[in-house]
Structure 1
Amino acid sequence: MDFARIIEFSGNHPILILAFVGTLGLLVASELSRRLSGMKSVGPVEAIQLSNREDAVFLDIRDEGEYHAGHIPDAIHIPLKQLAERTEELKKHKERPVIAYCRSGSRSTQVGRILKKQGVENVYNLGGGIMAWQNANLPVSKK
C-alpha cells in the first residue's frame, strides 16, 4: 500500500481514522500510566500464588458500595480517595506483597506511587480487577 492510497483512505474515512488514533492514544496512555506507577500487574492465578507463597495482602480501593457488593475475602478496604491519608494502616504489612484492585484494574494502577512514597515497595495491580477475579470463579465475600 503506497502513501497516496493511505491519504485517500484517510480522506474517505475520517471517522475510522479518528477512532483508530483515539484508541491508539488510550492504549499508549494506559501503558504509560502503568509503567509510571512502578507496579507489576498480576492475574488472578498469580495473585493467589502470591497470597499462598508470600502471604500477600489484598487491598480493595473501590468505594463503599462497590466493596459491599462483593470483595476478595479478607481484603483490606481503603477507598482510593482516602488512601494517601490512611497508608498507616498498611505499614504493618509493608514486608508483604500488596495486591491492589478495583473494578477493572485501571484505578488501582495509581496505588503504586502512593504506597511507594510511604515505604511499601512490593505492590502489584490485579489486572482486570475484581471482574477478572469473578470471571475466574474465585471466591467473593459480601460480609
Structure 2
Amino acid sequence: MKFLIDNWYLVLTAVISGGLLLWTSFRGKAGGVSTAEAVRLLNREKGVLIDVSEPEEFAQGHAVGARNVPLNLLTTGEPIKQLPSNKALPLVLMCKTGARASRAAGILRGQGFTQVVPVAGGLAAWREASLPVEKSAA
C-alpha cells in the first residue's frame, strides 16, 4: 500500500492510459464498421447495402450495388420498398462521410432491423479502399 501512496502519479498514469485504450476501442465500434467488414457482411452474410444520401449525391457516385434510401425518407414511417422485408438481414449503411448513416442506423434499429451497421468514413473510405463506385444515369 505504501508503494501505491508513494507512487500515486504512476498509478494514475496507468489508469488513464488503460481508460484511453478502452475508450478508443469502444469508440471505433460505435463509429461503424471498416470497409473490409462491410464487404464481408455483404458477401458472406447476404447483407444489403443502403446509401442514405440524397438522390443528387447518389447519382454523382455510390458503391456498386447500393440501394438509395435518403435519410429523410426513413423518418416518414412509410413502408420503403428498397429495404428488405427480412429484418434479420444485415443492413450496411453508407453516405458521403458516414454521419448520416450513423443516424439512419438508429432509426432502422427502432423500426425493428436487428443487424444495422454504418460504414466508418462512408463513401470516402470506400473509395480510399479502391472498392467499386458507379454513377447513376442522369
User: Taking structure 2 as the reference length, what is the TM-score of the superposition?
Assistant: 0.70
SS of equivalent to 1:81: helix
Q: What is the aligned partner in structure 2 of residue 48 from structure 1?
A: 39
Q: Percent identity?
A: 33
Q: What is the aligned partner in structure 2 of residue 67 from structure 1?
A: 58
Q: Runs ≥4 in structure 1, deviation > 4 angstroms?
A: none
Q: What is the aligned partner in structure 1 of residue 72 from structure 2?
A: 81
1:40–1:123 CA contact under 8 A, matched in 2: no
Structure 1 pair 135–84 and aligned structure 2 pair: CA distance change class (3 A): same
Q: Give the structure with the larger helix fraction.
A: 1
**Residue ranges of structure 1 left out of the alignment (5+ in a row):** 1-30
**Residue ranges of structure 2 left out of the alignment (5+ in a row):** 1-26
Q: What is the aligned partner in structure 2 of residue 113 from structure 1?
A: 106
Q: What is the aligned partner in structure 2 of residue 141 from structure 1?
A: 134
Deviation string 1:50-73 (CA, Å, 9 cap, x unpaired) is 111101111101111110011111
Number of residue pairs aligned between Structure 1 and Structure 2: 108
Q: What is the aligned partner in structure 1 of residue 49 from structure 2?
A: 58
Amino acid in structure 1 at the alignment position of 2:131: L
Counterpart CA distance in 1 for 2:43 and 2:61 is: 21
1:128 lines up with 2:115 in the alignment = no
1:62–1:78 CA contact under 8 A, matched in 2: yes
- Shift of residue 84 of structure 1? 2.3
Report the RMSD for the aligned CA atoms in angstroms: 2.1
User: Taking structure 1 as the reference length, what is the TM-score of the superposition?
Assistant: 0.68
Q: What is the aligned partner in structure 2 of residue 28 from structure 1?
A: none
- Shift of residue 40 of structure 1? 6.6
